[in-house]
Amino acid sequence: MYEDQWATERRRLEKGRHFSGPDGLRPRWRKAVFTRLLDVLGAGLRVTPFYARGQANALNLRRVELALRLPGLPSSFDGYRILHLSDTHLDVLPELAAVVRGLLEGAEVDLLAVTGDVHGDHATPVARSAGLLGEALRGIKVTGAQLAILGNHDSQAMADQLMGMGFEVLVNRSVVIRRGDGRLVFTGLDDVNSFYTGAARIALDAEVQPAGSDDCRVALVHSAEMADHAARAGYALYLAGHTHGGQICLPGGRPLVTTLRRCRHGAVGLWHEGAMIGYTSAGVGVSHPPVRFNCQGEVAFITLRLLAAAAPNASGLHCRLALLPVPVWAPRLLPDAICGGHR
């Protein structure tokens, strides 16, 4: 079975001396050096008042509401509601589980999409991370599919944990969601930042999808690093995470580090690649040190709308917090100055 072959290859990559991305191999020692620098930063912060402030920032999540107009969206999917979560890392800061649960309490969505990095601290068992995610999701009603992919912090064992929670884990494959007489195709990839294989590129290829070429398609990828490939394959929407929005940013929200090696215009928020809309979540959780500055974590509710409906207000913001009006975006009206998109 493909799943068995993937699991064997994933475990091999996890034990290897190099990380693998679309741009080639890179030695693991580079990440080890970066991680050590973060540990030093964290140790320094702990003896300052900034550490408590940074943790308080990390626990102050926002609820983002987006309405996106997708080309080719079947009329039966107009109003289709997706909860997008990424980089939960709840084992790093367990108090976040209650915060997320409070934000989601009483909400109802058609589909739940988790775009990787449920795990955070490698010293913590993956079952602990998955269990905290289950607690955080206890108050929300998902009427349809629960889809998940793996991130660079997730080992192959996380797939088993997520499937045990009722998720369909997409590893370089697609699933067709039907509603009325319409269908929407979701393609999920294994992490491409650290565990890339040629199977990810093949999975995005329009010619090997299980549905016809006219289907509206959504890509679930842990990072934005396959955005150009997905756009060429005709995807309408690309959902990602990985960057935490920078986690520690300059005033104004400019990330100091994104760890993206390509497609860096997709580092955070709404962006586009040709006609494809992309959204990169700032993430729910944090990696070490467990702080945020000038960068708020989030849960994102995305409502799909028909492209043929009334034009959006081009002067509005990409997204608004809950309780504020929700703008509707079409790809042709996303300004390059904001998105930095490629054409």
15-56 pLDDT, tens digit each:
888 888 888 888 877 777 777 777 777 778 778 889 999 999
Mean pLDDT along residues 190-198? 91
- Examine residue 312 and say whether the peptide bond preceding it is cis (omega within 30 degrees of 0): no
pLDDT score for 213: 59
d(CA 277, CA 275): 7
Q: How confident is residue 130, by pLDDT bands cut at 50, 70 and 90?
A: very high
Mean pLDDT on 108-116: 98
For 267-296, what is each residue's pLDDT tens digit? 899 999 999 999 999 999 999 899 999 999
pLDDT category at 319 given cuts 50, 70, 90 is very low
Assigned CATH class of 2-334:
alpha beta
pTM of the complete model = 0.87
Q: What is the mean pLDDT of residues 140-168?
A: 96
Other CB atoms within 10 A of residue 323 CB: 7
Backbone φ/ψ region at 342: left (φ over 0), alpha (ψ -120 to 50), beta: beta
Q: For residues 255 and 293, is the Cβ–Cβ distance under 8 A?
A: no
- Report residue 290: phi and psi, to 5°: -80, 65
Q: Give me the half-sphere count of Cα atoms (radius 13 Å) on the Cβ side of residue 318.
A: 18
